[in-house]
Each structure stands twice: as C-alpha cells, then as structure tokens.
C-alpha cells in the first residue's frame, strides 16, 4: 500500500492537473520540468487533515521538477523526504531535504524548490493561528511576535528525529482502517502532540522561553510584574516610561530585560495583549451590537486602519471578517 493511499486525491500523468490539485492544499505555484522526460510522467497526491494539522503527500515520477511559489506561504510547512531529495531555497537560505534533513517554511516566505525524479515528499501543514494559540497555551500568555522557525531541521538530532518518527507513526496508523488515529481525525490529541513537538524540537524565536518554562524557571521579577500590569489593564496608559517607573527601573533597563527574557519590547508585548483581547471580543460579539472601530478604541488602538493591519498580520484575516463570522 502506498503512502496515505486511502486518502488519495489524484494520480495523473498531467503536470498541470497535478499543480492545480496541489495548489488547493498548499500554496499556488509554477511547476516546470527541468529536463526532457526519459519515461512516462506520473504524479500522485494524497491529503488528510488531523484537526489543524494536514498531511499532504506528493510524488513525481519520470521528471525532475522546478517549483516556484507565486504567493507567500500563510501557514507552517515542514517538508519531509520519504524518497529522493528536494533543494529548497528561501532568500539566502538553502536546505537540501533528504533522509537526514527537513525544511521548515514559516509564514510570509517565498520559496523555490528543485525536486529530484521519483521524489516523494510529505508536507506537514500546520495552520498559523492554531500553532500560535497552542504556543500561547504553553506559555500562559499572548505571543508577542510571529513564530519563526530556523529553516533547516536536523533529523539526526534527538528531538527532531523523535518528532519525525511521530509523523511516520501517524502515517502508518492512518493507513490502517479503523485505527485509533483515523477515529480521532476530528479531535485534538495528534495535532496537539505534533504542534508541541514542533515547537520544542525545532529552534525558533520562542525556544529560550520554552526552555525556561521546561526548566521551571520563572521570568525575572521586574518583567513578571510588568506583564501582570499590562494584562490587568491592557487598554490603559502603558508607556514604557510609566511601566519602568512602576518597577523602579529605567526605560532602557526595562527594554533590555524584556528583550532578553521575552524576545520583544514592552511596547510589542502591550500591542499583542491588546490584539488578543480585541480578537476575543470580536470572536464572540453580536455583529449588530458592536463595530470594529468601537472594539479597537476600547483596547487602546487609536488608529483603526493601523489596528486592522496589525490584526491581519497577527490573525491572517480582517477584524471585520472575524466579527461577521462570530454568529
């Protein structure tokens, strides 16, 4: 039995059909044969979702392919090789995906790839909002910046290797009819396991905080007190100067403590807490009883277009859309 054969979407000799089908589950792209085919071309595509995590299996036979993403990725995508190799280029970074290495694509990246003949790749797609909310649950506070992973995952390492083996175990389970994995497709356990593992196994801009959490260390007292002040009344006067006075520090020292402990400035942390409160209000509001402008002003955003831009960057949608979807 092939990989995710029970969830097959396409098996075709037509590269355009393959490109169109893959674009429905991943990012729109251009697909270019890099050399004349010496044999008949064949492509396969399978896809299954486990909550906010999707497994997308792609195979190309009989041709080496060039891939150029025509839009920025708006999710997290771990590229694992099941056979062959893929040269992934993003900006100045390049990762050769093979049995020992995976590539991790973060949101807002544009990517080019070169797929070897008979290349079999598994995409582990994780929705951006789901991973952010999962991280916030682990930290116990809002995430003050977009999660950014290092692009190369070393599968020979203990943590990353363990995560990849978990993915392969899920593949095996899904290919078994009536397996527990199949029965739990609409629930959280597998997705939570994969998201937790990815955040812990692959270096990212939150790794120091997650390591501090795992070791049982708390944030430094001044930082913790400022965080409490911000979360107690995020709509109030939360200038760096006022926050610094509250903990008897200079603004520069407070900035330095925040950067070393949380990886962001106090202003950025305030902004993310306010966005989180506004998002929660919009998510549950009765659309006819409130406006986006009222919510933005209530949580300290005096420039509504700027609020909308920050919201879109953080949540991947417009605040007006969240409000419309509330009921």
Residue spans of the domains in the chain: they are: 5-210, 221-324
Q: What is the mean pLDDT of residues 211-232?
A: 77
Query: How does residue 233 score in pLDDT terms, banded at 50, 70 and 90?
Result: confident
For 145-179, give one letter per residue: b (16+ CB within 10 A) or e: bebbbebbbbbeeeebeebbebbeebbeebbeeee
The answer on pLDDT for 87 being more than 90 is yes
Residue 164 CA to residue 257 CA, distance in Å, equals 35
| The pLDDT value given to residue 260 | 80
pLDDT by residue (tens digit) across 131-156?
Answer: 999 998 888 888 877 899 999 999 99
| The pLDDT value given to residue 188 | 66
Instruction: Classify residue 166 by its DSSP letter.
Output: H
Residue 151 CA to residue 25 CA, distance in Å, equals 21
DSSP string for residues in 220-253: PHHHHHHHHHHHH-TTS---HHHHHHHTT--HHH
Q: What is the mean pLDDT of residues 216-245?
A: 83
| The pLDDT value given to residue 47 | 95
- Mean pLDDT, all residues of the chain: 88
| The pLDDT value given to residue 183 | 60
Residue 295 CA to residue 297 CA, distance in Å, equals 6
Contact 80, 166 (CB under 8 A): no
Domain 221-324: which topology?
Arc Repressor Mutant, subunit A (1.10.10)
Residue 265 CA to residue 278 CA, distance in Å, equals 20
pTM comes to 0.77
CATH architecture of the domain covering 5-210: Sandwich (2.60)
Is 114 buried (19+), middle (13-18) or exposed (0-12) by CB count in 10 A?
middle
Tokens of 62: 């009989």
Is 118 buried (19+), middle (13-18) or exposed (0-12) by CB count in 10 A?
middle
Length of the chain: 327
Tokens of 40: 């008949």
Query: How does residue 38 score in pLDDT terms, banded at 50, 70 and 90?
Result: low
Backbone angles phi, psi at 117, to 5 degrees: -60, 145
Query: How does residue 196 score in pLDDT terms, banded at 50, 70 and 90?
Result: very high
């Amino acid at each position: 039995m092939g990989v995710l054969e029970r969830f097959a979407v396409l098996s075709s000799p037509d590269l355009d059909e393959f490109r169109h089908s893959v674009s429905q589950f991943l990012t729109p792209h251009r697909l270019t044969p890099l050399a004349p085919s010496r044999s008949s071309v064949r492509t396969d595509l399978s896809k299954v979702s486990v909550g906010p995590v999707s497994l997308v299996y792609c195979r190309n036979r009989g041709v080496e392919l060039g891939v150029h993403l025509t839009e920025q990725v708006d999710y997290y995508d771990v590229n694992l090789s099941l056979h062959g190799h893929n040269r992934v280029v993003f900006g100045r970074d390049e990762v050769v995906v093979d049995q020992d290495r995976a590539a991790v694509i973060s949101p807002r990246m544009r990517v080019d790839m070169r797929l070897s003949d008979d290349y079999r790749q598994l995409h582990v797609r994780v929705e951006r909002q789901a991973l952010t909310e999962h991280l916030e649950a682990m930290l116990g506070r809002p995430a003050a910046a977009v999660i950014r992973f290092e692009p190369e995952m070393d599968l020979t390492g203990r943590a990353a290797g363990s995560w990849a083996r978990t993915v392969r175990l899920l593949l095996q389970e899904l290919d078994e009819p009536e397996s527990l994995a199949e029965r739990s497709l609409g629930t959280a356990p597998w997705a939570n396991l994969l998201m937790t593992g990815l955040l812990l196994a692959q270096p990212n801009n939150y790794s120091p905080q997650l390591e501090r959490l795992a070791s049982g260390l708390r944030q430094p007292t001044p930082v913790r007190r400022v965080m409490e002040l911000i979360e107690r009344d995020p709509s109030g006067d939360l200038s760096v100067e006022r926050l610094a006075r509250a903990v008897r520090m200079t603004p520069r020292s407070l900035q330095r403590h925040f950067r070393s402990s949380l990886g962001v400035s106090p202003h950025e942390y305030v902004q993310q807490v306010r966005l989180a409160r506004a998002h929660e209000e919009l998510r549950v509001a009765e659309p006819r009883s409130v406006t986006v402008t009222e919510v933005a002003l209530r949580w300290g955003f005096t420039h509504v277009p700027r609020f909308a831009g920050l919201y879109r960057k953080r949540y991947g949608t417009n605040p007006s859309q969240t409000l419309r979807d509330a009921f």
